[in-house]
Structure 1
Amino acid sequence: MISLRELTVRYGATVAVDGITLDLTPDKIYGLLGRNGSGKTSLLSVLASYRRASAGTVTVDGVDPFENPALMRGTAFIRDQLDVTTQDRVDRVLDFAGRLRPTWDAGYAEHLTDVFELDRRKRVSALSRGQRSSLGVVLGLAARAPLTILDEVYLGMDAAARTAFYRELLADYLAHPRTIILSTHLIEEVADLFEQVIVIDRGRLLVHEDTDTFKARGVAVTGPAAVVDAFVSGRTVLSERSLGGVRQATLYGGLDPRDVERAGAEGLSLAPVGVQDLFVHLTSGAADGTHRSEALR
């Protein structure tokens, strides 16, 4: 069980993480979403014990993980920049990971190097950008750490390699459940993997809920402008766009059966909004500078 209470991370006068309170139950795949500079990596660095929080607390099963060797051995934090010696060969990097991680599966690591066509004799410095990302995936998945954090690990991987990564992640998670936090900008590609969605914006927690619940909160209403305006009045409107006399409004908040019946009677069409579209709408600043989170309170 991971618990954050008023967690804050500052860099001088800059507040990267602003008082986040959050509980993560074990053995789920979490999608951590946020725009560049939203504080995702700072938050993950604290969870992985790479840095101490400026204020607030983080506990894993009730214990502070910072400089706790037992907990740190059970946490794998894989970033887009690998934390390995670039002059080492791939097989040496994997061997070191095996000695570091008590849950390491050498056979699975070998399988993954075959899947991603990694030459174990090559030095890390000789790998392409995509191959380095694949090595990061091997280190993250084969560790089978109780807490596995994958922060933009796919950078440089082509579509085929990313597809293989998603396939391996899901299959191995089902066989060996653990807590996986996946930070990504390729939301549309991986949204189906998420059991829960966490959205942060400007260092603040915007959303934390089951993926299906999150998806159900978004609906696009399309029809004659005047009819759409009347229908959405009093609701949380994330965005609007018009073409001629037709308007589409994206709403945040589910519709009850009476709303759906009314929409049909008034000639309005309703369509679901994907995780990526919802994320974009929620984290886009309003024209007057109002933070989206204010509209959701």
Structure 2
Amino acid sequence: MLEIKYLNKSYGDTKVLTDLSLELEENKVYGLLGRNGVGKTTLLSIIANQISKSSGEVKLYGEEVFENPKALENICMVREKGIGVEDIKVKKIFNMAKILYKDWDEDYKNFLIKEFNFNTNKKYNKLSRGNQTIVGLILGLASRSKLTIFDEPSLGLDAAHRYKFYNLLLKDIENYPRTIIISTHLIDEVTNLFEEVIILKDESVYIKDEVNNLIEKAYFLNGKEENIAPIIEGKRVIHKEEFGTSVIVGLFHRLTGEEKQRLKDNNIDISPMPLQKLFVYLTENSHVKEAL
């Protein structure tokens, strides 16, 4: 569906993205993760043709996105920093969206307005940050665009509204499948939404994998170091904490059933590592140990 080849983006002498290549499939939900300043919003903005690339290819259904109205009518990006039209009423923003997005669902937009108990007669720039976010969420959901991008969709929202959005999105993509990209720092809240995760690091794609594959090889091991070390020798250790005579080891390596049993026989507790912690440890600047 979406194919990116050797994408580069620089601002003056500052490189943001370097030779980034990526392919996304139809009707999947992707999580785009990365530390602040790594280029997540830049990448999403290039995909949505909101900023230009320095070089490379970005194609949707085989057609270059750049200045291509046919491709762009299938893309909706909800940005974290507003929607570009500030001093007009929200209902006018929705009327503009109805013209812009070819798959726009007016009935669903009206349903969402009621669901969020939203007053569309207010001007966008007079809304609170949370209510501005809700406008963006309604735009993204009601656009029903084949590629819908949410860049930090939880800014300013309380927990109740965040989970309302997650539930609405889950229900909607079940009835109207499409490709979703969500960039967020609240990773644990949305892990169950993601089918695949893309992690950006060092100006490019560091990891792209299914969530289940990542979780199945990410563990915390808790016990005596002398009992843990021989069993995980040569495996990738991404975190270590010492507590007296015990250690907690973060391991990023698939364990066999036999290895798990040996750990248990040596009184080592094994627990799954949450996706958010896995992301933090993988993207830390400190040296990642390959073994204890």
Report the TM-score range of the alignment, normalised by the length of the smaller protein: over 0.9
Q: Determine whether 1:185 maps to 2:185.
A: yes
User: How far did residue 116 of structure 1 move?
Assistant: 1.6
Deviation at 1:257, TM superposition (A): 1.3
CA deviation string 1:135-179 (max 9, x = no partner): 000011100000101001220011111111111111111110001
TM-fit CA distance, 1:29: 0.5
Distance 1:72 1:237 in 2: 43
What amino acid sits opposite 2:223 in the alignment?
Answer: G
Shift, 1:56, TM fit: 2.1
Q: Which residue of 1 aligns with 2:140?
A: 140
Q: What is the aligned-residue identity percentage?
A: 34
1:175 aligned residue: 175
CA distance in 2, matches of 1:229, 1:213: 24
Taking the aligned partners of 1:140 and 1:215, their CA distance within structure 2 comes to: 29
CA contact (8 A) 2:33 2:198 kept: yes
Distance in 2 (CA, whole Å) between partners of 1:230 and 1:242 is 17
For normalisation by structure 1, the TM-score amounts to 0.94
Say yes or no: does 1:122 pair with 2:88. no
Q: What is the match of residue 202 of structure 2?
A: 202
Would you tell me which structure has more helix in proportion to its own residues? 1
Distance 1:275 1:70 in 2: 37
The equivalent of 2:98 in structure 1 is 98
Q: Following superposition, which runs of at least 4 residues in structure 1 exceed 4 angstroms of deviation?
A: none
Distance 2:197 2:75 in 1: 20
**Pairwise CA distance, 1:253:** 1.2
8 Å Cα contact 2:228/2:263 also seen in 1: no
CA distance in 2, matches of 1:85, 1:22: 31
Q: Take 1:56 and 1:71, find their aligned partners in 2: how far apart are those partners?
A: 17
SS in 2 for 1:193: coil
3-state DSSP class of the match of 2:258?
helix
CA RMSD of aligned residues (A): 1.4
The answer to whether the Cα contact below 8 Å between 1:79 and 1:136 also exists between their aligned partners in 2 is yes
1:177 aligned counterpart, secondary structure: coil
Specify every segment of 5 or more residues in structure 1 that has no aligned partner in the other structure, as ranges.
none
Q: How many corresponding residue pairs?
A: 290
Amino acid in structure 1 at the alignment position of 2:259: D
Contact 2:83-2:136 within 8 A present in 1 as well: no
SS in 1 for 2:174: helix
Q: Check conservation: 1:39, 1:202, Cα contact below 8 A.
A: no
